Amino acid sequence: MATNLEIEFKNMLTEQEYQQLLNKFSINEEQLWTQKNVYFDTPTGQLKKLEAALRIRVKNSTYELTLKTKQAVGLLETNQMITKQDYQALKYDKVLVKGPVYEALQSLSVDVNHLLVITDLTTKRAEVPYKEGLLVLDKSFYSDVIDYELEYEVTDYEVGLRHFNDLLKQYHIPTRETENKIKRATNAMNKKKN
In this prediction, residue 93 has a pLDDT band, given cuts at 50, 70 and 90, of very high
- Whole-model pTM: value is 0.93
The answer to whether residue 1 scores a pLDDT higher than 70 is no
Q: Based on the structure, what is the number of domains in the chain?
A: 1
Residues whose CB is less than 8 angstroms from the CB of residue 64 and which lie 6 or more positions away in sequence, other chains included: 56, 57, 79, 80, 81, 82
For residue 2, is pLDDT > 90?
A: no
Angle at 53 between CA 47 and CA 57, to 5 degrees: 140
Query: What is the spatial distance between Cα 76 and Cα 78, in angstroms, rounded to a whole number?
Result: 7
Query: pLDDT band at 192, cuts 50/70/90?
Result: confident
| Rounded-to-integer distance, Cα 13 and Cα 176, Å | 8
The answer to whether 74 touches 8, Cβ cutoff 8 Å, is yes
What percentage of the chain exceeds 70 in pLDDT? 99
Tell me, what's the pLDDT at 158? 97
**DSSP type of residue 73:** S
Residue 95 has pLDDT above 60, yes or no: yes
- CA 146 from centroid of its chain's CA atoms: 15
Q: For residue 91, how many C-alpha atoms fall within 13 Å in the half-sphere facing its CB?
A: 18
Q: What CA–CA distance (Å, rounded) separates 99 from 96?
A: 9
pLDDT of the residue at 76: 96
For the domain that residue 118 is a member of, what is the CATH number? 2.40.320.10
pLDDT of residue 82: 98
Q: Which domain holds residue 95?
A: 2-193
pLDDT above 90 as % of the chain = 94
Q: In the prediction, which pLDDT does 56 show?
A: 98
Over 80: is that where the pLDDT of 154 sits?
yes
User: To the nearest whole number, what is the mean pLDDT of the chain?
Assistant: 96
Q: Is-contact 105 125, C-beta < 8 A?
A: no
Label residue 77 by pLDDT band (50, 70, 90): very high
- Amino acid identity of 162? R
Q: Decide: 77 and 180 in contact? Cβ < 8 Å.
A: no
CA–CA separation, 135 and 102 (whole Å):
30
Beta-bridge partners for 75: 6, 70
pLDDT value of position 193: 76
